[in-house]
Amino acid sequence: MNSLHFALRLLRRDWRAGELRLLATALVIAVASVTSVGFFTDRIERAMARQASEVLAADIRVESNQPIPEAFIREATRRQLPHASTLSFPSVILHREVTQLVQVKAVSNDYPLRGQMRVRDSITAEDQVAEGVPASGEAWLEERLLPLLGLALGDEIKVGKSSFRVSRIIVYEPDRSANLFRLAPRLLIPIGDIPETGLLGPASRVRHYLLLAGSPSQMSDYRVWVEDQNISGLQVEDIRSARPELRSALDQGGRFLRLAAATAILLCMVAVALSSRRFVERQSDSSALLRCLGASRRQVTRIFILRLLSLGLVASLIGVMIGLGVQTLLIQLIGDWFTTQIPTPTAWPVVSGLVTGILVLIGFSLPSIIRLGEVPPLRVFRRHLAAPPISYRLFLLVALFSLSILLLWQIGDDKMALRLISGLLAGLAILVLISRLLVYALAPLRHLTAGSWRYGLASLSRNPATTTIQLTGFGLGFTVLLLLAIVRVDLLTSWQGALPADSPNQFLINIQPDEVAAVRELLAKGDIETNGLFPMIRGRLVSIDGDPVSLEDYDNPRAQRLATRDFNISHALRPQDDNKIVAGRWWSDTELNEAWFSVEQGLAETLGIPLGAELEFEIAGIRVMGRVESLRSVEWDSFNVNFFVIGTPGLLAQRPATYITSFYMSAEKRPVLHRLIQQFPSVTALDVTAIMAQVRAIMDRGALAVESVFLFTLAAGLIVLYAGIQASHELKVQETAVLRTLGVKRSVLYLSTMLEFALLGGLAGLVSAALASAISFSLAQAVFNLPWEFNFRMWVGALLAGALCVAVAGTLASRSLLNTPPLVTMRKI
Amino acid sequence: MKFVDTSAGRIDILQGIDLAVSPGEAVAILGASGSGKSTLLGLLAGLDQASAGEVTLFGTRLSSLDEDGRAALRAGRVGFVFQSFQLLSGMTALENVMLPLELSGHRKPEQAAKAALSEAGLAQRLHHYPSQLSGGEQQRVALARAFAPNPQVLFADEPTANLDAHTGKRVADLLFKLQEQSQTVLILVTHDEMLADRCDRRLYLRDGSLENEA
């Protein structure tokens, strides 16, 4: 006999008979949720990487202070790589009698290769994507130049020997964000007009760039080629990090989506375990008959395993198809945020979905199904002979193994996965213990109660194994659902709260100390509120605990950059509201003259600065030393002014500083800003409205994506509910028929069924509220960095909802039993 | 011999049984409820093992085989008919009959199963599920399933006990017709004296021992 062929025929028959539908549905949901989230996050992450290229406006960028050799451009053309040339230098421009230092950028026609420029045709017009670059003789410039030079669009400006007509306002420039705080106002002109300006003398401070785009392998090949040319003074840059303000929202969202997919898997695992147990009970006759008709134990086992694996494969493929459809919807939700095209799906999520389906089956179904080969053939005569009881040790071991692999793999965050696994294991132990206690506690009550109560309680205490399985199944199911609901609400609330409508959208930097009072007054007059004006001191980190800081000490490119650049340092009486001291303590009012620093946690980790370390900074030629007294976490995506390093006023107040502030300014208050810039020409104003709009959009769409994926978890929850109720179905068939034959009224049986399920559901709800609170507390603290608070209403809600859902669903599911004449039921037994 | 050990001591179920059945013979085993008839049937079919003594099937001592060996010995050569029919509820009549044929590697299981069901007068019921068939029809499907692979031995456990007298007679007629056609050894456990009368030999199981009845 061909076991596979036979198994497939049996599978077809099983499917028709509805035997495996529950198991298959659970698998389809698990795989669909993993695949849709997999496809979605994979595509978004690749789109993010591509969008991160905007920091360079290219995938790689060759930079030099000498013109880029022609050979480099020829090589790029030969390799058919899209390329563009830019150059950048500071220069003074002239309008009428007013001069202004600007950062001139000259670009070739194909600029930018990645990302898009956004421009405005007038001060009040909506911004739009720039098609192409300025035409010859035209210049685009940053809005703050208009008041500084008293310019209007259409006016002429003088750059070197040439004149340019100002035609557009630059709103957003892809490769600008890398140096948000350092640049003088931007002026953009075509690269072909540069020679006529006569500005490029041998000593001019020009940076030349060659921008290139292509696949990662093309980029890496080109990079190798450049390095082989061995030309000094050349640098090849690639993308190292996307914008941090978006990354944190997206990372958090991605983590939540993976958690949601993992919880859907967890629920499906519970459903698969429950329905497999029922499948074994219902297939025991079939197994005994097969053995009786001459099938060997191995053959029977093989037939059932092949049947199961075929089912797993088919269900997983269906799940993958559904996942593919759902991710298309999710991508549509969020996709238009990306200025780059979202990459097409890869095959990896398909593999991941199929492996998930098979692993869920192996972990939660196989240990039960294997027992079918052990059903004694004599069962055909003696129905009480059943498969040997499952080895719980083996079951737990296999289940734990596949659970751990799946969660660690799917969540992709060991800390979160381990917390979830340990929480669930503890939950499992507690639920088993409570169900045992329940069975013992109910036994004496059976004799003290009467009617419906007695039958309901008896049903729970008479079948301890089924009660344990149901309570554990419901309990784990509710726990996971509640957990996700809590984290989801916390996350959405925190996203909505992260960027309120009045978040700062303007920065003023380079305010001189003697201008602080006047700037403050001007802003107050214009009815613009700030969080304050903060001193900003430029300083270079020279040593940590006496060890000089050098580039070679760090492998990480971010650490290398940080180690060699000037820091913005500040001094303050108290930490900002969005800062949290995570180690050590902030200084008190009596300690303001101590030589102490407070360092941002991420910086401390990157540069290896422990609490208590002695830091030495060089500030305007003077060495300043102090001890790290505290480490802080900072909400960088709040758009408030924040600093990596803050010192005590006593340590830094005497050092030369400029001031910085941020505030929210509505569009109609733009004239206030223009006045301010005219009055204080050295103050630099930066408008981050466009970046903020992007952050808001991503959070709104992300919230929708989160809600969509949550639906999978809800569907999986319903499957668990159904599977849990079905777990006692066979027992109920017999009991109900006997009780009704003996004359027990249907109303009494209805009530007893309702009581039995309400008790199970209520208890499961209560335990799961406790478990979900504990796990969510742990995740909120360690993984999502979200605030957590005890929610009493959730406990009451879980108790009532658990009792109500299980009672209603259980009673509805038993309705056919209660309504069918007992004789009909007895005949079927 | 078959006994079980309990906390109250050993209980002998069957003892001193000596039975040989010739090819083509139909043997009825009668006995009161709990006399051990089904236990004896289980032992003869190799579904259970004797505590002492020997059962030989097709010239092979069953004690020399493990459970899988005994199953292999049965495959395609032994048929069963049960009191409760034992049809698989998820399968149609045709699929139930195909089951032993597929297990024994029959080349054309569907064709053979259809022929067996036609023989049982169920040609119009091929695609019905057990729940859509009457008790008599279900047992006829079970007979078709038992005879379809042309077994050498058929074990029948109270095949008419769940049926009314009229239906029971029709099923019994079919059983004996098929047995005669195929010259299969029939070992029939029953309470029904009339059914037992239609066998070549009647044995009575009393106090665990088998007695010949004239």
Task: Return the structure tokens found at A687.
Answer: 């408008």
C-alpha to C-alpha distance for B182 and A1, rounded to whole angstroms: 24
Task: Return the structure tokens found at B78.
Answer: 């032994």
Burial label, A230 (beta-carbon count in 10 A; 0-12, 13-18, 19+): exposed
C-alpha to C-alpha distance for A578 and A503, rounded to whole angstroms: 12
Residue B11 has pLDDT above 70, yes or no: no
pLDDT for the residue B12: 67
pLDDT for the residue A340: 57
Rounded to 10°, the helix A729-741/A451-462 angle is 140
Residue A131 has pLDDT above 70, yes or no: yes
Q: Which of A300, A285, A353 is nearest to A324 (CA)?
A: A353
Measured CA to CA in angstroms, residue A324 lies from A33, A317, A320, A428 at distances of: 10, 11, 6, 33
Write the DSSP assignment of A83-99 as a string of letters: EEEEEEEEEEEEETTEE
Which 8-state DSSP code applies to residue A783? I
C-alpha to C-alpha distance for A477 and A496, rounded to whole angstroms: 29
Q: Which of A16, A295, A828 sits opposite B103 (nearest CB)?
A: A295
C-alpha to C-alpha distance for A746 and A471, rounded to whole angstroms: 25
C-alpha to C-alpha distance for B204 and B206, rounded to whole angstroms: 6
pLDDT for the residue A441: 80
Mean pLDDT calculated for residue range A106-118: 89
Give the pLDDT band (50/70/90) at residue A334. low
Residue A105 has pLDDT above 90, yes or no: yes
Which 8-state DSSP code applies to residue A781? I
Contacts of A382 in chain B (CB under 8 A): 38
Contacts of B48 in chain A (CB under 8 A): 378
Parallel, antiparallel, or unpaired: how do β-strands B209-213 and B201-206 relate?
A: antiparallel
pLDDT for the residue A822: 66
C-alpha to C-alpha distance for B101 and B96, rounded to whole angstroms: 10
β-bridge partners, A235 = A63
Q: What is the pLDDT of residues B47-56, one digit of tens each?
A: 888 887 888 8
Q: Which of B97, B173, B159 is nearest to B128 (CA)?
A: B97
Residue A806 has pLDDT above 80, yes or no: yes
| CA triple A646-A652-A658, angle to 5 deg | 85
pLDDT for the residue A576: 85
Residue A336 has pLDDT above 70, yes or no: no
Least confidently predicted of A9-18, A189-198, A749-758, A765-774: A9-18
Q: What is the pLDDT of residues A549-597, one digit of tens each?
A: 876 777 665 676 677 667 788 999 888 887 889 999 999 989 988 999 9
Q: What is the pLDDT of residues A186-241, one digit of tens each?
A: 899 999 999 998 887 665 668 889 999 988 788 889 988 988 887 766 777 765 43
Q: Is A9 on the interface with B (CB under 8 A)?
A: yes
Residue A731 has pLDDT above 80, yes or no: no
Interface mutation vs chain B, best among A381, A827, A828, A829, most B CBs within 10 Å: A381
C-alpha to C-alpha distance for A19 and A280, rounded to whole angstroms: 10
User: Residue A179: which H helix or E strand, with range?
Assistant: none
Task: Return the structure tokens found at A242.
Answer: 């996307």
Does the distance separating the beta carbons of B88 and A6 come in below 8 Å? no
Q: Which of A9, A292, A297 sits opposite B68 (nearest CB)?
A: A297
Contacts of B78 in chain A (CB under 8 A): 294
C-alpha to C-alpha distance for B201 and B186, rounded to whole angstroms: 10
C-alpha to C-alpha distance for A52 and A40, rounded to whole angstroms: 18
Does the distance separating the beta carbons of B38 and A297 come in below 8 Å? no
Q: Which of A286, A289, A381 sits opposite B157 (nearest CB)?
A: A381
Task: Return the structure tokens found at A76.
Answer: 């790029």
| A444: CB partners within 8 A, 6+ apart | none
C-alpha to C-alpha distance for A526 and A666, rounded to whole angstroms: 11
Residue A54 has pLDDT above 70, yes or no: no
- Return the SS3 of B214: coil
Q: Residues of A50-67 as b/e, b for ≥16 C-beta within 10 angstroms?
A: bbbbbbbbbbbbbbbeee
Q: Is A380 on the interface with B (CB under 8 A)?
A: yes
User: What's the Rg (C-alpha) of chain B?
Assistant: 17
Q: Which residue has the higher pLDDT, A468 or A629?
A: A629
Give φ, ψ of A162 to 5 degrees: -105, 155
β-bridge partners, A598 = A630, A646
Residue A494 has pLDDT above 80, yes or no: no
Mean pLDDT calculated for residue range B8-12: 61
For residue A356, the distance in angstroms to the closest alpha carbon of chain B comes to 29
Tell me the helix, strand and coil percentages in chain A, rounded to 5.
Answer: 60, 15, 25
Residue A536 has pLDDT above 80, yes or no: yes
Helix extents (H) in A18-143: 21-52, 70-78
Task: Return the structure tokens found at A711.
Answer: 């639906």
Q: Is A1 on the interface with B (CB under 8 A)?
A: yes
Mean per-residue pLDDT over chain A, rounded: 81
Does the distance separating the beta carbons of B99 and A377 come in below 8 Å? no
Residue A660 has pLDDT above 60, yes or no: yes
- Return the SS3 of B50: coil
Interface mutation vs chain B, best among A284, A293, A820, most B CBs within 10 Å: A293
Q: Is A815 on the interface with B (CB under 8 A)?
A: no
Mean pLDDT calculated for residue range A797-814: 87
C-alpha to C-alpha distance for A668 and A242, rounded to whole angstroms: 32
- The proportion of chain A whose per-residue pLDDT surpasses 90, expressed as a percent, equals 13
- Return the SS3 of A183: coil
User: Residue A772: which H helix or E strand, with range?
Assistant: helix A746-779
User: Residue B34: which H helix or E strand, with range?
Assistant: none
Q: What is the pLDDT of residues A141-197, one digit of tens each?
A: 988 888 888 888 999 999 888 999 999 999 888 876 544 444 578 899 999 999 998
Residue A27 has pLDDT above 90, yes or no: no
pLDDT for the residue A179: 44
Contacts of B76 in chain A (CB under 8 A): 294
Task: Return the structure tokens found at A283.
Answer: 């297939």
pLDDT for the residue A446: 66
Least confidently predicted of A178-187, A661-670, A780-789, B151-160: A178-187
Q: Which of A19, A296, A380 sits opposite B86 (nearest CB)?
A: A380
pLDDT for the residue A793: 83
Does the distance separating the beta carbons of A290 and B38 come in below 8 Å? no
C-alpha to C-alpha distance for A424 and B173, rounded to whole angstroms: 62
Residue A627 has pLDDT above 90, yes or no: yes
Mean pLDDT calculated for residue range A751-780: 85
Q: Which of B92, B84, B140, B135 is nearest to B117 (CA)?
A: B140
Give the pLDDT band (50/70/90) at residue A134. very high
Residue A785 has pLDDT above 70, yes or no: no
C-alpha to C-alpha distance for A168 and A186, rounded to whole angstroms: 12
Maximum alpha-carbon separation in chain A:
110
Does the distance separating the beta carbons of A294 and B100 come in below 8 Å? yes
For residue B201, the distance in angstroms to the closest alpha carbon of chain A comes to 23
Mean pLDDT calculated for residue range A104-117: 89
Maximum alpha-carbon separation in chain B:
54
Q: What is the pLDDT of residues A279-310, one digit of tens each?
A: 888 888 888 988 888 888 888 888 888 888 88
Q: Which of A91, A89, A81 is nearest to A61 (CA)?
A: A81
| A548: CB partners within 8 A, 6+ apart | A542
User: What's the Rg (C-alpha) of chain A?
Assistant: 34
C-alpha to C-alpha distance for A761 and A800, rounded to whole angstroms: 8
Q: Which residue has the higher pLDDT, A445 or A377?
A: A377
Q: Which residue has the higher pLDDT, B15 or B11?
A: B15
| A656: CB partners within 8 A, 6+ apart | A537, A619, A620
pLDDT for the residue A233: 66
Contacts of A17 in chain B (CB under 8 A): 89-91, 129
Residue B7 has pLDDT above 60, yes or no: no
Does the distance separating the beta carbons of A16 and B47 come in below 8 Å? no
User: Is the alpha carbon torsion for A767, A768, A769, A773 positive or negative?
Assistant: positive
